[in-house]
Copies of this chain bind each other. A is one copy, B any other.
Amino acid sequence: MSLPNILLGMLATPASGYDLKQRFENQERHYWSANLAQIYPTLKRMENDGLLESREEPSDKGPPRKVYRRTRAGIDALTQWLQRGPEVHSDRLSWLAQVGYLAHLPAKQQRDFMVKLHDEFVRHRRELEGLEAHWAAHDPRFPDALPDPELFAHFTLRLGLTKYATIVEWCEECLERLDRRDAKSAASG
């Protein structure tokens, strides 16, 4: 039941399904994703439920855009979602499950796996660093004078950055431990 609420949150300014998809791929990518085949029917259902209203707008390029806006009922539903308190579900980190079973691979492939992970998360971290740098350069209120909605958007960005930094450091520690182990086994074997 999260996607409809997240869409309500994102619709602070009116937007089309296509716009929302773009935002999932940029700003919100580190904590949620959704594809168009899920977004379009969800928006339609929310309109039927009275949470949104839409109007068609001509597009410069391609077919007309269907632009959605929150209704009063939509804003109320969003507020109630927040008032119910934090929704913490168990994470599904299949890459971490994989790390737990790396003993099934030879030492070289174990190392390769951890290096790939490391590089992948460095890439993710860099993307968010780029977002933050851009924000810092273009908004004189950044970071201590940000008004309410942007303050919270910055909170989520900070979590993304520290999360990726933590994972990258952890990968480096794991690689060091693997190297120590292999140095030891080479000496004794």
A residues in contact (CB < 8 Å) with B = 2, 5-6, 9, 28-33, 75, 78-79, 81-83, 85-105, 109, 113, 116-117, 120-121, 144, 148-149, 151-153, 155-156, 158-159, 162-163, 166-167, 169-170, 173-174, 177, 180-181
Residues of B near A29 (CB, < 8 A) are 90
Cβ distance A143 to chain B, nearest Cβ, rounded Å: 9
Residues of B near A120 (CB, < 8 A) are 86, 88
Residues of B near A152 (CB, < 8 A) are 99-103
The 5 A-B pairs at the shortest CB distance, nearest first, are namely A9-B101, A33-B90, A2-B94, A86-B95, A103-B148
The answer to whether B116 and A85 have CB atoms under 8 Å apart is yes
Given A5-B98, A32-B97, A88-B121, 11 more A-B residue pairs with CB atoms under 8 Å apart are A5-B94, A32-B92, A32-B93, A78-B104, A91-B91, A101-B149, A155-B170, A155-B174, A158-B170, A163-B163, A163-B167
Residues of B near A181 (CB, < 8 A) are 151
